[in-house]
């Protein structure tokens, strides 16, 4: 069964001057125990989708259900199953200590200190916040405040968690800690997580599926492995010892018009798209004929960032009618 279902969601914001269609006929479902990435450029509609689920934004039309509950008629039941860290919001009380915040937010979700103490302590350890346990949150750094907000959301132990830009402001090490925590959450606790992020590396690392939105519409909803396979290229990077190979370069630029090359003080680096396996063998034969010593050869692996940029480019071309 789906933990989250969104059907034909639409939201427009109107001001005197203009009307913005923030969410335009968005539909998707997220299964229990799935971790999904919600991606899209600034203003794509990600936060509006999340806020619509949480009842913070009132959509114009469409249906939303969390474990069978909808925000219009059963908001209380829906919110008791959902935790969220929203971008740029004060998700926590700055005058309370780290521990008090965790106990407070878990408490209002029905997780008492007696019930949750061990888990709360575990969260503090995982996020390296033990030393700050009794510090007022207002005295913590930006990244630490973000970590506390995430701890408070997780401490509620809800089946569905929304994290809107969770790694914003986190240092590299903490970002990795968060990834590990989220992976465990999904694998061991079967919790469902929707993460919005501009950090493609994070999404590629932790999510099974990505939903990509642009101008309020879903333009891709695919397993990340499928997205990567779709954009897998046969681009190879060959490093050749000794940068001085004028004859070889002349032959190569004639035979491989899309090849590019660069040199440093001791190497020649070729980048070429070789669609057929035979193209690669022919290139290696040419190198051998010209006495060029091949140091390394790598196939460029696609990453989610490249996929995302390429999809956005296509989408822009489609919108511009080119």
Residues engaged in binding ligand ATP (CB under 6 A): 13, 20, 22, 40, 42-48, 87
Q: Minimal distance in Å, beta carbon 87 to Mg ion?
A: 5
CA distance 268 to 285: 17
Of 33, 35, 87, whose CA–CA distance to 56 is shortest? 87
Determine, following the binding rule CB under 5 A, whether residue 47 of this chain makes contact with Mg ion. Answer: yes
Nearer of residues 217 and 306 to ligand ATP, judged by Cβ: 217
Nearer of residues 48 and 65 to Mg ion, judged by Cβ: 48
Mark residues 88-127: x for contact with Mg ion by CB under 5 A, - for none. ----------------------------------------
| Secondary structure of residue 6 in the 3-state scheme | strand
CA distance 71 to 194: 17
Q: Which residue is nearest to Mg ion, using beta carbons? A: 47
**Pick from Mg ion, ligand ATP, none: which does 25 bind, CB < 5 to 8 A by kind?**
none
Nearer of residues 129 and 150 to Mg ion, judged by Cβ: 150
Determine, following the binding rule CB under 5 A, whether residue 157 of this chain makes contact with Mg ion. Answer: no
Tokens 């971008």 -> residue: 87
**Pick from Mg ion, ligand ATP, none: which does 71 bind, CB < 5 to 8 A by kind?**
none
Q: Which residues contact 304 (CB under 8 A, 6 or more apart)?
A: 200, 201, 203, 204, 210, 224, 227, 228
Q: Calculate Rg over the CA atoms of the chain.
A: 25
Q: Minimal distance in Å, beta carbon 50 to ligand ATP?
A: 8
Of 171, 84, 183, 180, whose CA–CA distance to 125 is shortest? 180
Q: Which residues contact 187 (CB under 8 A, 6 or more apart)?
A: none
Q: Name the pairing type of β-strands 209-214 and 217-223.
A: antiparallel
Q: Minimal distance in Å, beta carbon 41 to Mg ion?
A: 10
Nearer of residues 47 and 158 to Mg ion, judged by Cβ: 47
CA distance 230 to 293: 33
Q: Minimal distance in Å, beta carbon 15 to ligand ATP?
A: 7
Which residues does residue 218 pair with via DSSP β-bridges, in sequence order? 213
Task: Tell how many helices (H) and how many strands (E) occur in the chain.
Answer: 11, 13
Nearer of residues 97 and 197 to Mg ion, judged by Cβ: 197
Nearer of residues 40 and 116 to ligand ATP, judged by Cβ: 40
Q: Running DSSP on this structure, what letter comes out for residue 316?
A: H
Q: Minimal distance in Å, beta carbon 46 to Mg ion?
A: 5
**H helices within 54-171, ranges in order?**
75-80, 98-108, 113-126, 142-155
Determine, following the binding rule CB under 5 A, whether residue 175 of this chain makes contact with Mg ion. Answer: no
**Pick from ligand ATP, Mg ion, none: which does 13 bind, CB < 5 to 8 A by kind?**
ligand ATP
Nearer of residues 45 and 55 to ligand ATP, judged by Cβ: 45
**Pick from Mg ion, ligand ATP, none: which does 40 bind, CB < 5 to 8 A by kind?**
ligand ATP
Q: Which residues bind Mg ion (CB under 5 A)?
A: 46-47, 87
């Amino acid at each position: 069964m789906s933990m989250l279902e969104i059907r034909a969601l639409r939201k427009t914001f109107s001001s005197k001057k203009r009307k913005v269609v923030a969410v335009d006929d968005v539909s998707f479902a997220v299964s229990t125990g799935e971790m999904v990435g919600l991606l899209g450029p600034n203003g794509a509609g990600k936060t509006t989708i999340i806020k619509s689920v949480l009842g913070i934004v009132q959509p114009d039309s469409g249906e939303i259900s969390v474990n069978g509950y909808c925000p219009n008629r059963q908001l209380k039941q829906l919110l008791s199953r959902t935790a969220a860290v929203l971008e740029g919001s004060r998700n926590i009380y700055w005058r309370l200590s780290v521990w008090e915040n965790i106990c407070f937010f878990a408490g209002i979700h029905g997780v008492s200190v007696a019930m949750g103490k061990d888990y709360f302590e575990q969260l503090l350890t995982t996020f390296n916040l033990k030393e700050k346990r009794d510090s007022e949150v207002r005295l913590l750094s930006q990244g630490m405040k973000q970590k506390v907000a995430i701890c408070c959301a997780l401490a509620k132990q809800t089946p569905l968690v929304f994290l809107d830009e969770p790694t914003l402001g986190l240092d590299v090490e903490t970002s990795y800690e968060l990834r590990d925590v989220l992976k465990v959450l999904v694998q061991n606790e079967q919790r469902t997580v929707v993460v919005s992020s501009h950090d493609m590396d994070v999404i590629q690392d932790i999510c099974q599926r990505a939903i990509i939105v642009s101008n309020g519409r879903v333009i891709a909803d695919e397993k990340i492995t499928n997205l990567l396979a779709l954009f897998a290229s046969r681009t190879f990077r060959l490093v050749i010892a000794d940068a001085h190979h004028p004859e070889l370069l002349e032959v190569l630029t004639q035979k491989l018009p899309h090849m590019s090359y660069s040199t440093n003080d001791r190497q020649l680096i070729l980048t070429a798209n070789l669609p057929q396996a035979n193209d690669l063998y022919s290139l290696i034969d040419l190198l051998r004929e010209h006495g060029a010593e091949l140091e390394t050869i790598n196939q460029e692996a696609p990453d989610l960032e490249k996929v995302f940029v390429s999809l956005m480019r296509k989408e822009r071309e489609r919108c511009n009618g080119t």
